[in-house]
Structure 1
Amino acid sequence: MLLYLLALNPTDSVTQGFLPAAARLGLSVTVLTDSPAPHQRAYARLPSPPDVLKCDVREFREVVSLISTRRAPNAVFTNSDHLQTQAALAADYFGLPAKNWKATLRAKDKGLLRRHLARCGLDTVWSAELAPGEAAATLTELDVPLPCVVKPREGVASEDVELVDDMDQLVRCCEDVRRRRPGAALVVEEFLVGEQYTLETLGDGTRRHVVCGFRAEPSPPPYFIDAVYEFVPTHPPAVLEQVLAQLDELGVGLGACHTEFIVQADARARIIEVNYRAVGDQTDLMMADLLEIPYFEYVLGVHLGRPLPADLGARTDMRMHNLAVCADRAGTLTEAPGPSDLVSGGVRLSYRPVRALGERHEHYHSNRDFLGLVWAMGQDEEALRRAAAEFVAANRWEITP
C-alpha cells in the first residue's frame, strides 16, 4: 500500500512519528515536498527511508498531477498546517478518505474561522482583517477593543503574534509584521482572557475520540510562547461540550486535530485557533508514549479508511509536564546539553534538543526560539514540575551574539 505524504520542512512528528508508524503498518511512503534535500538528510538514517520527490505542494493541482503519473495512492496525508487543504483536495480527487476541505480552510484562515463561528451563533470574537497592501493606519477608523492581538491570518507557532495596548502600538506592530512578511494578510482580534488549554481529538469520519488535553502556560505578554504544557486527561463536561460543538460547526471530523482555547471565569470556552493536525513540538511523541497507544498508526489508519476502535485503550493514571528552554536573544548556540533520559524517584525525564550546536538564529519571540524540550512523566504532578526545573537549573545553554 502506498502513502503520499505532503511536507514543507522536515519535522519530528513525521521523522520520528509518522514514518516509523507507516513502516509498522507495511506502507510504502513517497514524500512530496518543495525542498527535497533537507528531507533526504533527515530520513537518511531511517531503516526504510521514503522516496522523496520535488513538487510544488502548496498548489493542489501540481500534487494531483504528479501523483497521477505514478502508482495509484492508498492515502494522501499531511501533518503540515500549511498543506491540509491541498492534501484534502488531492485525496478527494483520487477517491480516498479526505478531510473536509472547507474545514481545513476554515482552520487555516483565522479570519474565516472567526466569521464562520460568529455566523453559526456559537461565539463572536471581535476581529478585523488587514488585507495585503492595505495601510495599517486604516485600523484607526475602527472601534478596536484594546488591548488586542495582532497575528498573521495564516500563521503558525505563535510567529509574529503580539499583544498591543494602544492604537499607535497597533499600527507600528502591523507595519513591523508587514516588513517581515511582505504581502501577508493580518488579523486583529479581541484579546481573550482566561486559562489556556488544548484539546486533542482523533476521528475516523464516523466516530471521534477525545484523546486528551493540555494546560498551557504562555510566556508573559506581549508574546505568546507555549513554554509549559501539562497533561490534562479530560476537561470538564461543560467545557468539552462547548469546544466540540464549535469543531462540529467548523466541519472537523476525520483525522487528528489540535485545538487551543481559553476558559474564562464564567466557564465559557472560547477557541483561540484550530490546528487541523497532530499537536507538535514533540508533544505528540510524548503523548503517545504517556498514553501507551499506537497514536501515529491510528492517525494514518483513518486516512486509509480504517475505523477507530470504540476504545483507544489509553492509559489514564499518568501525568506529564513539559518545560521548553527558550532563547532570550539572537545568536549562535555554543553550549547546550545533549539528549538525556533519566529515571529517579518515580519520574521519567527526557530532554531533547531542538536547536543544534553551532546554529545561528534570530530572536523570533515564538516557538521557533525553543532550544530544547524537557519532558517529565510520572504520577506526582509536583514531582514532575520539580524534576523539570532541576534539570534546567543543572544545565547550561549559551548563546553567543
Structure 2
Amino acid sequence: MADPGKTVVLIGGRAHREFEVLHDLGYRILYLDKRVPLHLMAWVDVPVDVDTDDWDQVAKVVRDQLDGQAPAAVLTHVEPRIPLMAHLAEQLLPEGRGLTTSAARNCRDKWHTRTVLAAAGLPVPRFGLAEATREAARIARDIGFPVVVKPRDGAGAFGVRRCETVEETRIAAGHVLDEASPDALPGVLVEEYLDGPEYAVQTITRGGKTRVLSVFRQHMTEPPVFVELGYDFPSGLAEDELQVLELLVTSVLDELGVDDWVSHTQVRLCADGFRVVEVNARRPGGRLVEMTEVVSGVDMVDAVSRLALGMPVEEGEPRASLARYRSIVFEEAGTLLYQAPSAGAFPSIVEMEVPSGDQVQPVDHPVGGVYGRILVFADSVEELDRFERRAREALDLRVAPSDDLTWVAAETREFKSCC
C-alpha cells in the first residue's frame, strides 16, 4: 500500500458515512474485520479478514500491510473494538493521539466505570459484580429490590433486565453468564435500579476541555426490558439543571481519562440528583449523530475522525431549535407492510431496518425491539407535529397478523435497542 502516512486503519463498521468522511479528508482506508462484508469492498481501499480478538495478529497484519510504517490513524465506531483501537494506536503511532487504553478500559468495562467514579465520589448506582447466579442474588438482596442485571461490557441494552425478586435475578444473571461471547469480560453486573427520567449527553473533549453538544430527553419502554422509544430536544431540563449536568459529565470524563475524543453518556435524574448510568467512549448509535449535528452544528462522525487524525474539529451552525426522534416498534407480532421511505434529509429522516414483508416481533420480545426510526426537525412544536404526521402517512405502516410466525433474524438491524 502506497503512503502509509495517508492511510487510516478502520476496524469494523457498516455505516457509509464512516468511510465517506475519511475519503473526503483525503485518506485511504485499510479495513479490518473478522469477515469483510461484500458490500463494503467498494468503500475501502484494502479490505483484510483478520481475527479481531487476536490483538497481536491484528498489529502484525497492519505492520505487514504498511511495510512496518505508522498509519495516519487507527479508528473504530464499533463499541466492542474500542479497546483494540486504543491499543493499536498506542502500539503503532509515534505519538499519543485520541483515546488511551486506560480510558477505553474505564468506559468499556461497566464495573470498572462504576468503581472509578464511586472512588472519586461521583454519583453512580450501588453495584456489585457476580461470577455466579447465587452471588448475583446475594448482591441483589444487599442492594435491595428492584435491581438491574446487565452484562459487564455489553451495549445497546442487550441482556439488561430489571428484576423484582431473587428468582428473577438468578434467571437474568444466568442468561448473561450462559450467553456471554468468548471475548466478553467475566461476570455479571448487578446494580441499583434508578427511578427517574433519563438523558443522553453527547460531548466532545479536546485538550482537557469538554463541550456538551446535545442533551436529549430519552424515552424508554417500561421495565423489565429497556428499549429506546425516542428522544427530544430540548431536553426539558431547566437552565440550572443543565449546568449541573454539564459539570457532572465533564467531571466524569475527566476522572475516566477521556480526552481528545467524543462520548455518549446516559444519566438519570433521581430524587437525590443526577446519577450516571453509562459512559460510552464513542459517538451515539441510531440516528443521534444526525440529530446532534442539526441542533449543534457538529458532525460527530467527522469530529471523531479528525480527533483520531490529530486535526482540528470543524463546527457549523445549528439548523433547528427543536428535534424529535421516534423509534418504530410494534406491540404485536405479524408481517410488516409499508411504503418505502424517500431518501432521508432535513427536516425529516425516515429509515426502516427490515424490508416490507418481513416478520416483526413485539417491542419487548427478545428478538423484537426497534425496526426503524423517524426524525423531524423544526423551530416550533406545530412544525414538528406536522412533519412527523406527514412522515408516518407516507410510510403507511401496517402489521398483518400471522398465526404461524417463524422468526428469521435480519442482519441489517444494526441498532436493535438503545444507543
Letter in 2 for 1:67: V
The equivalent of 1:315 in structure 2 is 318
CA distance in 2, matches of 1:373, 1:306: 32
Do the aligned residues in 1 keep the contact of 2:30 with 2:44 (CA within 8 Å)? no
Counterpart mapping for 1:69-80 below 5 A: 69-71=64-66, 72-80=70-78
Cα distance change on mapping 1:171 and 1:293 into 2, 3 Å: closer
| Residue deviations 1:60-102 (CA, integer Å, cap 9, x gap) | 2222111111223100001111011110010111225131211
The equivalent of 1:118 in structure 2 is 118
Cα distance change on mapping 1:293 and 1:106 into 2, 3 Å: closer
Matched, 1:85 2:83: yes
Matched, 1:218 2:217: no
The alpha-carbon deviation at position 307 of structure 1 amounts to 3.1
The equivalent of 1:22 in structure 2 is 22
Query: 176-185 vs 269-278, which deviates more?
Result: 176-185
Size of the aligned set, in residue pairs, is 382
CA distance in 2, matches of 1:192, 1:56: 38
Instruction: Please report the TM-score for the alignment, with normalisation by the length of structure 1.
Output: 0.85
Cα distance change on mapping 1:301 and 1:182 into 2, 3 Å: closer
CA distance in 2, matches of 1:182, 1:303: 28
Do the aligned residues in 1 keep the contact of 2:130 with 2:188 (CA within 8 Å)? yes
| Residue deviations 1:245-286 (CA, integer Å, cap 9, x gap) | 1111111112211001112244x2211101110011122134
The alpha-carbon deviation at position 242 of structure 1 amounts to 1.4
The equivalent of 1:129 in structure 2 is 129
Counterpart mapping for 1:1-400 below 5 A: 1-7=6-12, 10-12=13-15, 15=16, 17-36=17-36, 38=37, 40-42=38-40, 44=42, 48-71=43-66, 72-94=70-92, 95-96=94-95, 97-131=97-131, 134-136=132-134, 139-140=137-138, 142-181=141-180, 185-232=187-234, 236-266=242-272, 268-308=273-313, 312-315=315-318, 317-328=320-331, 333-340=335-342, 348-357=347-356, 365=364, 369-381=369-381, 383-385=383-385, 387-388=387-388, 391-392=391-392, 395-398=396-399, 400=402
CA distance in 1, matches of 2:76, 2:382: 37
Query: 188-197 vs 321-330, which deviates more?
Result: 321-330
What is the root-mean-square deviation of aligned Cα atoms in Å?
A: 2.8
Do the aligned residues in 1 keep the contact of 2:214 with 2:296 (CA within 8 Å)? no
The alpha-carbon deviation at position 391 of structure 1 amounts to 4.0
| Residue deviations 1:2-25 (CA, integer Å, cap 9, x gap) | 111111xx433xx2x221111211
| Residue deviations 1:186-244 (CA, integer Å, cap 9, x gap) | 11100112221111111234443221121101111111111111123886112211121
CA distance in 2, matches of 1:367, 1:200: 28
Do the aligned residues in 1 keep the contact of 2:124 with 2:276 (CA within 8 Å)? no
Instruction: Please report the TM-score for the alignment, with normalisation by the length of structure 2.
Output: 0.82
Cα distance change on mapping 1:315 and 1:328 into 2, 3 Å: same
The alpha-carbon deviation at position 43 of structure 1 amounts to 5.4
Cα distance change on mapping 1:362 and 1:50 into 2, 3 Å: farther
Cα distance change on mapping 1:260 and 1:389 into 2, 3 Å: farther
* Percent identity of paired positions between Structure 1 and Structure 2: 21
CA distance in 1, matches of 2:368, 2:78: 16
CA distance in 2, matches of 1:83, 1:247: 19
Do the aligned residues in 1 keep the contact of 2:123 with 2:275 (CA within 8 Å)? yes
SS of the equivalent of 2:157 reads coil
Do the aligned residues in 1 keep the contact of 2:136 with 2:173 (CA within 8 Å)? no
Do the aligned residues in 1 keep the contact of 2:149 with 2:188 (CA within 8 Å)? yes
Unaligned runs of 5+ in 2: 1-5, 406-419
